[in-house]
Amino acid sequence: MGDRLRVALVFGGRSGEHEVSVVSACSVAAALDPERYQVVPMAIDRAGRWADPTTASRVLAEAGTTPDRAPSFEGSSRLDPRLLDGAVDVVLPILHGPFGEDGTIQGLCEMLDLPYVGCDVEASAVAMDKVTSKRLFREAGLPTPRWVTVNADEWGADRPACEERCLGLPPPLFVKPARLGSSVGITKVKETIELAPAIDLALGYDSLVIVEEGIPGREIEVSVLGGDPPIASIPGEIVPGHEFYDYADKYLDDACQLLAPAPLGPDKVAEVQRLALAAFATLGCEGMARADFLLDRRDDRFLLSELNSIPGFTAISMYPRLLGLSGVSYPQLLDALIAQALARHERRRRFAEAALRPLSDRSR
């Protein structure tokens, strides 16, 4: 048992997905093989403070006994000291949204020279930024809904010009903060009069807003597991219980339906898998990501919406569920992600050592 890998399971966090992160972490802890791994719980409260080890373990245990809700807790530290004293071998961040999925925890791990699961700093930040990722999708020739941007300075200086630019897209429109998750701050705009309040709302969460054309279609998701080569799962489908898949639909009233597998023909399955793998490569993703698509009812064409670099990890979440239906069990998924994290860290260590060698030795 002394040879077990010590896995820092980091969960909670400052985003609107705090609760689902806690529940996800509980599922992950239960699926990690106790013969191979020692789980080291690390909990971050809603204010960004790290809990002490006893509290972190308690929260994880309570989440296992109350799967319908996440326990509340408060932290007291700027950082869990176990990350600094050699108490862990690899970090498994199950943090969604800002301060977790956006490259911040990944950057911390890089600074501490710790292996970590999932996308690196750059890919995490890019995937979180809807505008940057869509620009890269477009550059790579991947289909994505049309959009325009509005920043806080432009909005403050000339609202009519910004509205005119947005209304160049066909309604309905979706107005979103550019760098936020959980559908927080998103408004579906059907009438011109609704546009300005929607932009005001989104600018309350981010200084950059994306205004995107609404697509009449089905919401399709594909899980991607990194590797050589990466694999794409069978697709699943989200059937919203509300007008669109908003925050309440995701987390509060359980009104949506999750169809796994999605009712698609073989050709459409192959097409969306190909697009998911292309999107994964375009953003430089590693480890894991969930690719979200819209299947346009008007022309039966897939449009790439976004990639989520740390998708939900509860036992019923689409990411592990779709991979499970594709032949990769939950424990096998975690084994693969941890192995990839360790391999990347070793590869980068060799590169770093090569870069530090004297110039006179580099040609040898």
The tokens describing 215, both together, are: 């697509």
Task: Sheet containing 5-12: give its strands across.
Answer: 37-44, 5-12, 90-94
Q: Which of 312, 321, 324, 330 is flagged as catalytic? A: 312
Alpha-carbon Rg for the chain, nearest whole angstrom, is: 21
Which one-letter amino acid corresponds to residue 123? Answer: A
One of 290, 305, 319, 324 is an active-site residue; which one? 290
Beta bridge partners of 208: 151
The residues, any chain, with a CB within 8 Å of residue 75's CB and separated by 6 or more, are: 43, 44, 45, 47, 48, 49, 50, 51, 52, 55
Residue with token string 């994880």: 60
Q: Is 251 designated active site?
A: yes
Q: Which amino acid, 300? A: D
Residue 51 buriedness (CB in 10 A; 0-12 / 13-18 / 19+):
buried
Annotated catalytic residue, options 110, 251, 284, 348:
251
Identify whether 41 is preceded by a cis peptide bond (ω within 30 of 0): no
Give the residue ranges of DSSP H helices in 120-219. 121-128, 130-139, 152-157, 159-166, 195-203
Q: Give catalytic status of residue 353 as yes or no.
A: no
How many CA within 13 A on the CB side of residue 75?
A: 23
In the DSSP assignment, the letter for residue 52 is P
Q: Which one of 292, 319, 330, 344 is the catalytic residue?
A: 292
Question: What DSSP letter does each residue of 221-256 carry, written as one string?
Answer: EEEEE-SSS-EEPPPEEEE-SSSS--HHHHHTS---
94's tokens: 């199950």
3-state percent helix, strand, coil for the chain, nearest multiple of 5:
40, 20, 40
Q: Of the residues 306, 309, 324, 330, which is catalytic?
A: 306
Residue 308 is among the residues annotated as catalytic for this protein: yes
Q: Does 271 participate in catalysis according to the annotation?
A: no
Q: Where are the beta strands (DSSP E) in 285-331?
A: 288-296, 301-308
Catalytic residue check, 253: no
Is 200 a catalytic site residue? Answer: no
Q: Which of 124, 182, 309, 317 is labelled catalytic? A: 182
Residue 151 known to be catalytic = no
To the query of whether residue 292 is one of the catalytic residues in this protein, the response is yes
| Active-site annotation, residues | 17, 182, 251, 290, 292, 306, 308, 312
